[in-house]
Amino acid sequence: GNSVTQMEGPVTLSEEAFLTINCTYTATGYPSLFWYVQYPGEGLQLLLKATKADDKGSNKGFEATYRKETTSFHLEKGSVQVSDSAVYFCALSWNNYQLIWGAGTKLIIKP
Amino acid sequence: SAVISQKPSRDICQRGTSLTIQCQVDSQVTMMFWYRQQPGQSLTLIATANQGSEATYESGFVIDKFPISRPNLTFSTLTVSNMSPEDSSIYLCSGAMMDNYGYTFGSGTRLTVV
pLDDT in tens, B20-30: 999 999 988 88
Q: What mean pLDDT do residues A31-57 have?
A: 91
Q: Name chain B contacts of A99, Cβ cutoff 8 Å.
A: 33, 43, 45, 94, 103
Hey, are the CB atoms on A103 and B92 less than 8 Å from each other? no
Q: Which range, of A14-18, A72-76, B2-6, B62-66, averages the lowest pLDDT?
A: B2-6
Task: Calculate the average pLDDT of chain B.
Answer: 92
Res A84: pLDDT: 97
Residues 6+ apart with CB under 8 A from B106: A43, B4, B5, B6, B23, B92, B93, B94
Interface of B with A (CB under 8 A): 1, 6, 30-31, 33, 40-43, 45, 48, 92, 94, 96, 100-101, 103-108
Q: How far apart are the first and last CA of chain B?
A: 37
- Residue A96 is predicted with a pLDDT of 58
Contact A49 B31 (CB under 8 A): no
Q: Which long-range contacts (CB under 8 A, 24 or more apart) does B45-48 make?
A: B45/A98, B45/A99, B46/B78, B46/B91, B48/A97, B48/A98
Residue in B3, B7, B43 to test binding to A, most A beta-carbons within 10 Å: B43
Give the pLDDT confidence score for residue A16 in this predicted structure. Answer: 97
Cα–Cα distance for residue pair B47/B105, rounded to 1 Å: 15
Mean pLDDT in residue range A36-44:
88
Q: Confidence class of residue B4 from pLDDT cuts 50, 70 and 90?
A: very high
Query: Region A52-62: what's the mean pLDDT?
Result: 95
Query: What is the distance in angstroms between the CA of the first residue and the CA of the last residue of chain A?
Result: 41
Burial A15-42 (b: 16+ CB within 10 A, else e): eeeebebbbbbebeeebbbbbbbbeeee
When CB atoms are compared, the residue of B41, B42, B106 closest to A43 is B106
Whole-number pLDDT of residue B99: 61
Dump pLDDT digits (tens) for A64-85. 999 999 999 999 999 999 999 9
Contact B41 A43 (CB under 8 A): no
Considering only alpha carbons, which residue of chain B is nearest residue A6?
A: B42
Backbone φ and ψ of B73, nearest 5°: -85, 0
Inspect the interface and report whether the beta carbons of B48 and A99 lie closer than 8 Å: no
**B48 contacts on A by Cβ (under 8 Å):** 97-98
Instruction: Judge: B45–A89 Cβ closer than 8 Å, yes or no.
Output: no
Rounded Cα–Cα distance for residues A4 and B8 (Å): 31
Comparing CA positions, the residue from B64, B28, B72 lying closest to residue B47 is B64
